[in-house]
Structure 1
Amino acid sequence: MDYFFIIAVLVFLSATFGYINVRFLKLPNTIGLMLISIVFTLGVFALSYFDDTLLNAEKFIITQIDFKTVLLDVMLSFLLFAGALHTNFEQLKVQRWPIFAFSTLGVLVSTFLVGTLMYYILQIFHLDIAYINCLLFGSLISPTDPIAVLGILKKAGVPKKLETKIVGESLFNDGVGVVVFLTIFKFASPSTETITPLDVLELFGVEVVGGVLLGLLLGWVTYKLLKSIDDYDIEVIITLATVMVGTVIAQKFHLSAPLAMVTAGLVVGNDTLRSDAMSETTEVYVDKFWELLDILLNTLLFVLIGMELLVLTFKVEYVLAGLVAVPVILVCRYLSLLMPINFFKKKLDFVPNTNLIMTWGGLRGGISIALALSLSEEMNRDLILVITYVVVVFSILVQGLTVGKLVKRLA
């Protein structure tokens, strides 16, 4: 079974599930696709009691796909660039300091709060897990997922000022969260090498600062190229090349590709620069191209998340731990946002109940699952993967469906 066939099957399923959602369920695509994919997979499980042909085929497809590589090394760059391209740069500029605090301090505080609380809670379920592995879980579950957030907030009716905070935070804390995860991963990996604080600072400096600088350079070069010509076909291809070449460069020099793509997308999408570099026709084609690519990749991603149910090792205590983790993570997120919000709310015009809305609207998604899949068996991979999956499913289906109602009631 070659990769073209697998991609064809996934696109077929995405189109079918997307049609069912738009025609009958009428849910936001992110929620509808994931829900239908999970129901489909459970249906395949039920059918396997009579005939396991379809189950074996679905299992084979999932085992042939390295979800971590597909998402983190390929899809994420395109999705983040598309998201940043359509983010209000002026609003982001006004809210830059709280967004910076949310995506750095917020992620770090949440990582240690979640890790510490889960360490003690898992003991109650007689699940023996090292503290460092609990911190790994905290680091992979703390960042909000820009892919899930962007897809759902568009239909939730969130006030623009608050939407900018949530979207801006999710765009940047993704890159920071991956760096935090990789840092703790190094400590957790069995190794003879001693990791010093200087090593940690170097990793942060190279990944984060290097990623942002690369993104600024890519954005500036792209802007100059777009400004020098007026041909929408080639200009669309130039933006595509920016993402693909930029990702390769970031991976080659161990820089943060997510942060590079967010930065480049913000530069290219800046209203002032884009009106100077692109004609109205080019703007329309660039926007439509990236919107279509964003929708296609989102569709494939959430179908894959639903099908990842097949690779989980279900045990009652694992699922119970996942259900307990949901309120723990929400409380930790609320606490991690308290200080930045209280500090900035006097200087900036925050909408009422910002903390509650940001806590409930901070969704987890495919990135958390991808990071959990990258863990080794020694890091309690099966346990952490099940807990992560339960949290992500709750986040997308429950929080995603109710965040709009919460906003209308509280904002």
Structure 2
Amino acid sequence: MTPLQIASVILVLSAASGSINYFLLKLPASIGIMVIALLGSVAILGVDHYAPGLQLADQVRELVASMEFSTSLLDAMLGLLLFAGALHVSLEDLKREALPVFLMATLGVAISTIFIGVGFSWASGAPLLIALVFGALISPTDPVAVLGILQDAGIRQSLETKIAGESLFNDGVGYVVFLLLTSLAFGNAHGHGQAIELADAVTLFLREAVGGAVLGMALGWGVFQIMRRMNEYPLEVMLTLALAFGGYELALALEVSAPIMAVVAGLMIGNVGRRDAMSEETRTYVDGFWRLIDEILNATLFLMIGMEIFQLSPSANMAAVLPAAVVLALLGRLLSVALPILLLRPFRHESRDVVPLMTWGGLKGGISIALALSLPESEWKALILAATYVVVVFAILVQGLTLGRFARWLNRKT
């Protein structure tokens, strides 16, 4: 199938799943689409089991493989999704929560990576470095999943800013940590033929993280300067799209963190640009355009997550490892939130519900699956992919659907 045909199939399936959810399930849109895709995929696997002659599962498996989920998300969709998410985050609110967001997006990712990695190595028997790769790809919260769920959760603004801000930044940090650990474990991150030295890892991390932030600020400032000198909303909307698309690809070419670039550029246009460069008419169109992009990409992404079950290769040893992975992911998330909050206790007061809500609201999503799919072929890739998929599905379906009720229950208790 050609890329256009694949995109057409995905859009048709997303629209059909969204319609079924609207009339029947009435779940939050993205979750409903994923549930329908997952149920449909399981049904096809069931039909194939009892009627193997149809070869229906093989045909769908070929379609799913042709979607190239990892490449489609990491090299195309992610930049737009992160830019759209950052565009609607208040910089003033984020500044007030900057310290906890920074600690959880950096120290928290490191704590979670180590805890989950050690635990996964013990539970699965995987070498520690390879288990740490799993810890790195499953530790960051997914801004796509988080921002989509937060809209319906009804939690207070300060806590929403913490969760949203952390999810936007720990994604970029986690991606860099993943690249470093993958290089050390497999010896081919960034296409290098051999593993980088540990001393070089610090340099690579700083180049990726700081370089991404600097590039995002530079490109965002440049687009802001152009927009403030015009009042032509179609062109201004196009400029924001060019910034998200072109900036992300430029960051990939320069080998700096493209996710961090997209977040920083989105924050700049969404705050400084919105305030000083856009007319009221332009704000309306820019907001509407990016909300529509966000909704469409979310729908297609969650549909693809539901269909990625065809990429799994189940084995007998997974029965004990997969539940352990879910528990490890939750405990790692708890530590990544609780320890930074504990460190900040002498300097700022946080309400008692911050740790439990941020733990339960730390959803994993498509980025983790894409990273797992991008791993080099090895005897451990199938297990890591299956564990990642189970953690993501649990996070979206169980944590995502209960976050609002959990928040209301905590409010009654405090």
TM-score (norm 2): 0.94
Q: Note if contact 2:216-2:263 (Cα within 8 Å) is conserved in structure 1.
A: yes
Q: Note if contact 1:232-1:282 (Cα within 8 Å) is conserved in structure 2.
A: yes
Q: What is the total number of aligned residue pairs between the two structures?
A: 405
1:105-120 to structure 2, matched below 5 A, reads 105-120=107-122
Deviations along 1:197-250, one digit per CA (max 9) or x if unpaired, are: 331111111100000000001111111111110010000000001111101210
User: What is aligned with 1:224?
Assistant: 225
1:143 aligned counterpart, secondary structure: coil
Q: Note if contact 1:319-1:387 (Cα within 8 Å) is conserved in structure 2.
A: no
Q: Note if contact 1:206-1:255 (Cα within 8 Å) is conserved in structure 2.
A: yes
**Separation in 1, partners of 2:345, 2:238:** 42
Q: Aligned-pair distance for 1:292?
A: 0.4
Residue 238 of structure 2 aligns with an amino acid whose one-letter code is: I
User: What is aligned with 2:268?
Assistant: 267
User: What is aligned with 2:85?
Assistant: 83
Mind listing any 5+ residue stretches in structure 2 that lack a counterpart? none
1:378 aligned counterpart, secondary structure: coil
Q: Note if contact 1:143-1:170 (Cα within 8 Å) is conserved in structure 2.
A: yes
Q: Note if contact 1:213-1:260 (Cα within 8 Å) is conserved in structure 2.
A: yes
**Separation in 2, partners of 1:349, 1:232:** 43
State, as a whole percentage, how many aligned pairs show the same letter: 45
Q: Aligned-pair distance for 1:193?
A: 4.6
User: What is aligned with 1:58?
Assistant: 60
Q: 2:185 aligns with which of 166, 184, 188?
A: 188
1:198 paired to 2:199: yes
RMSD after superposition: 1.5
Q: Note if contact 1:133-1:379 (Cα within 8 Å) is conserved in structure 2.
A: no
**Separation in 1, partners of 2:253, 2:219:** 15
**Separation in 2, partners of 1:81, 1:299:** 17
User: What is aligned with 1:72?
Assistant: 74
**Separation in 2, partners of 1:302, 1:273:** 30
Q: Aligned-pair distance for 1:351?
A: 3.1
Q: Note if contact 1:161-1:350 (Cα within 8 Å) is conserved in structure 2.
A: no
User: What is aligned with 1:297?
Assistant: 297
Q: Note if contact 2:185-2:195 (Cα within 8 Å) is conserved in structure 1.
A: no
User: What is aligned with 1:93?
Assistant: 95
Q: Aligned-pair distance for 1:57?
A: 3.0
Residue 377 of structure 2 aligns with an amino acid whose one-letter code is: E
Of stretches 14-23 and 345-354 in structure 1, the one that deviates more from structure 2 is 345-354
Residue 313 of structure 1 aligns with an amino acid whose one-letter code is: S
1:165 paired to 2:162: yes
Residue 82 of structure 2 aligns with an amino acid whose one-letter code is: L
Deviations along 1:163-201, one digit per CA (max 9) or x if unpaired, are: 100100000000000000000011111478563333111
Deviations along 1:300-347, one digit per CA (max 9) or x if unpaired, are: 111111111011001232143111211122112112222211233454
Residue 138 of structure 2 aligns with an amino acid whose one-letter code is: I
Q: Aligned-pair distance for 1:117?
A: 1.2
Q: Note if contact 1:148-1:396 (Cα within 8 Å) is conserved in structure 2.
A: yes
Mind listing any 5+ residue stretches in structure 1 that lack a counterpart? 123-127
User: What is aligned with 2:137?
Assistant: 140
Question: In 2 relative to 1, CA 405–8 (structure 1 residues): closer, same or farther, beyond 3 Å?
Answer: same
Question: In 2 relative to 1, CA 296–188 (structure 1 residues): closer, same or farther, beyond 3 Å?
Answer: same
User: What is aligned with 2:38?
Assistant: 38
User: What is aligned with 1:24?
Assistant: 24
1:199-214 to structure 2, matched below 5 A, reads 199-214=200-215
**Separation in 2, partners of 1:319, 1:84:** 39
Question: In 2 relative to 1, CA 194–4 (structure 1 residues): closer, same or farther, beyond 3 Å?
Answer: closer
1:106 aligned counterpart, secondary structure: helix
Q: Note if contact 2:216-2:265 (Cα within 8 Å) is conserved in structure 1.
A: yes
